[in-house]
Amino acid sequence: MGTYSNTAVWVDGLVVIGGFTVLFYFLKFSWKCWWGLRVYVLSEYWKTDLRTYGQWAVVTGATSGIGKAYANELAKRGLDIVLVSRSEEKLKATALDIERQYGRQTCVIQADFTEGHAIYPIIAEKLQNLDIGILVNNVGMTYSPGLAYYMDIPNPGMRITEIINCNILSVAQMTRLVLPHMVERSKGLIINISSEAGSEPQPMLTLYSATKIFVTYFSRGLNAEYSPKGVTVQCVAPFLVSTNMTNNRTINAFVKSAQDFAYEALNTVGHSTFTSGCLSHALQHIALCIFFPGWLRLSSSCVRKTEKFARRAQQKIGRTGKKEN
Ligand SMILES: NC(=O)c1ccc[n+]([C@@H]2O[C@H](COP(=O)([O-])OP(=O)(O)OC[C@H]3O[C@@H](n4cnc5c(N)ncnc54)[C@H](OP(=O)(O)O)[C@@H]3O)[C@@H](O)[C@H]2O)c1
């Protein structure tokens, strides 16, 4: 009898623990579903008024792809735009487009972010006296061709420094330039474009992926430091967006157009400080975490497969290039 009741107590205990575990995971799952719904679906109807941050938005790498799309969308939502990029000609054309289409003021700053610290005093001078409410640290580059072993990066001695200057230094330095003004007014928004490639180490994209985890950690730490002072720092980690960087891939359910991406990502402001930017990319992120975890990506068989894939992709690009010539 004594043995039986001891067993019963154990069973009752396990049932209670099991019940709490199921309840915990059910509540966690429900919370995540609600959070996802709010950030990626309802945010379309609950948009934050971005003009409340200030008059001007600064966008780096603003003449094509995601940066240009952010610049256009921000102008559409009522902000004046400072465009910072490499090519003077493209800057002028993009600025004129924005002025004509949305009737906003623009200011262009020609700067090459691969050049390192020397460019920032010039940028600082041009930003002086502007009421900057938003900074989009978008500029970024990878190696060409897309995937490569670290030592196969073309001209590695120079390219490595250029990538670090462009993807890391630009984020830290541009932030330093705008943050004091934002803190002074107790309002501001800094959007840093990271990448899904920064969520786990990515062999054959090693340097790029490492620069992007810098952007993610920098954003999240900075947000914790400065959100109590009124400045929000949002980290956006997209999957594939059809731009020059991705050889303008065909747009489909997985690959977003830059315009759609910027629209959806800007809707998430005020709802999330760490986001994939859009529903499709958020779902791909979840699927990848489940079916293609970090340890698998780092396995030697996976690296070999990536190498084969890179070779095939390169041959395809070579063939297309030849046909076009
Ligand atoms: N596309 C994707 O699938 C994807 C996915 C995840 C994350 N991202 C990130 O999103 C950001 C934008 O990527 P994107 O695909 O839009 O790239 P993109 O189409 O290649 O556009 C890059 C922009 O940055 C400018 N730029 C490039 N190098 C520069 C430099 N050294 N100095 C100044 N400006 C420079 C370019 O100006 P010019 O035209 O004058 O060269 C262009 O306006 C990057 O940080 C990238 O890592 C992209």
> Cβ < 6 Å from ligand 1: which residues?
61-67, 85-87, 90, 111-114, 138-141, 166, 193, 195, 238, 240-241, 243-246
Residue 2 has what pLDDT? Answer: 54
The per-residue DSSP string of 102-121 comes to: H---EEEEE--GGGGGGGHH
Distance (Å, rounded) from C-alpha 189 to C-alpha 231?
6
Say what the pTM is: 0.93
The confidence score (pLDDT) of residue 323 equals 47
Q: Pick from 122, 128, 92, 120: which is nearest to 108 by CA? A: 92
Nearest-angstrom CA–CA distance, 63 and 114:
16
pLDDT score recorded for residue 315: 78
pLDDT mean by block of 10 residues, the chain; 325 residues: 75 93 95 94 95 98 98 98 98 98 98 97 96 98 86 92 98 98 98 96 95 98 98 98 95 97 98 97 96 93 92 74 47
CA angle 291, 203, 145 (to 5 degrees): 115
Q: How far is the CA of 169 from the centre of ligand 1 (A)?
A: 15
Q: Which of 208, 217, 226, 263 is catalytic?
A: 208
- CA 260 to ligand 1 centroid distance, Å: 16
Beta bridge partners of 57: 81, 134
Distance CA 164, CA 173 (A): 12
Give the DSSP H or E segment for 127. helix 120-127
Distance of CA 284 to the CA centre of its chain: 15
Q: What pLDDT digit, counting tens, does each position of 263-280 carry?
A: 999 999 999 999 999 999
Catalytic: 4? no
Query: What CA–CA distance (Å, rounded) separates 119 from 99?
Result: 26
Nearest CA owner, ligand 1 atom 2: 241
Each residue's pLDDT tens digit, 112-148: 999 999 999 999 999 999 999 999 999 999 987 778 9
Domain segments of the chain: what residues?
50-294
Fold classified for 50-294: Rossmann fold (3.40.50)
* Helix H or strand E segment including 300: helix 300-324
